[in-house]
Amino acid sequence: MADAVTNRISVVEGDITQQHVDAIVNAANTTLLGSGGVDGAIHRAAGPDLLEECRALGGCQTGEAKITKGYRLPARYVVHTVGPVWNGGRKGEDELLASCYRKSLELAESQEVKTIAFPAISTGAYGFPLARAILIAVKTVTEHLTRSPSITQAVFVCHNDRAFRMYLDALAEVAGEPANAPGKREREAGDADRDRGDAYAAIREQIDGQLKMIEAVHGIRIVNCDALADTLARAAGDRTQASRATAALNSWVVINNIRGEIEIPDDMIARILEQTTKK
């Protein structure tokens, strides 16, 4: 996968209703009238005007998507999509789930959305196995972004550490980078320095992109961004470790409700570095 696409996809742990992106995606049902789970959380955060607009849409079929305004949400739009109910895996669930991601992206692009956040559609009340759903999500979004340049950031928002790791595994798999892949060690010794420089540049680019995304999503400015990116890029051995580092930072920003300008303190950087190199 091209680095440019990798840098346009990120994973954060948190609440999708709090994301400062152009559009968030809702895992709705065919009535579009709100219910529990992420759907309920989005309706509660957006306020009653969202339900009123949804009533006028006449529902939505499984695998399709419809768009509304975001009302009281930080996001300007909500893309409502209806994931498949898991029924054993032989009723077209995989294709329908992929269709949710594709249609959501197409609809968002039609409104000139640049940044979009997805929950793990169908993996709650609808019972889709989490790892399988996450791999479909990551593959479909990656394929779409490879073809279409207009979305600059797609964010997968997950609720827990287990899902977070699954997203990282899926991103590594789709990028064709199985953890601990052999290869470089077998090349000429003279390539080693250049390889190290290339690896730093690629990881640094990824970290710069993810730090920018954290700033944009939370509406903050990290004053020691450059030094932080350099420290993290030097410590991270691969893309998965780099993502783990920026995810640790993201969680810290969320938990501490950071606002405005922030200088990331040294003790926090030390903790992030621990996360970075964790196996």
Q: Which residues bind ligand AR6 (CB under 6 A)?
A: 15-17, 27-29, 35-39, 41, 83, 119-126, 157, 159
Q: For ligand AR6, which is the closer residue by CB, 123 or 210?
A: 123
Q: What angle do CA 209, 206, 163 make, to 5 degrees?
A: 95
Q: And the tokens for 259?
A: 């606002």
By C-beta, is 3 or 169 nearer to ligand AR6?
A: 169
Least gap, CB of 30 to ligand AR6 (angstroms): 8
Q: Rounded to the nearest 5 degrees, what angle is found at the Cα of 118, between the Cα atoms of 115 and 123? A: 175
Residue with smaller CB distance to ligand AR6, 7 or 62: 62
Active site residues: 39
Closest CA to 215 of 145, 264, 146: 264
Report in angstroms how near the CB of residue 249 gets to ligand AR6 at its nearest.
19
Q: What is each CA distance from 217 to 15, 24, 99, 154, 157, in whole angstroms?
A: 12, 12, 26, 11, 11
Please, how many CA atoms are within 13 Å of residue 226, restricted to the half-sphere of its CB? 0
Which residues, 6 or more positions from 267, have their beta carbon under 8 angstroms from its beta carbon? none
- Nearer Cβ to ligand AR6, position 1 or 85? 85
CB of 87 to ligand AR6, least distance (A): 13
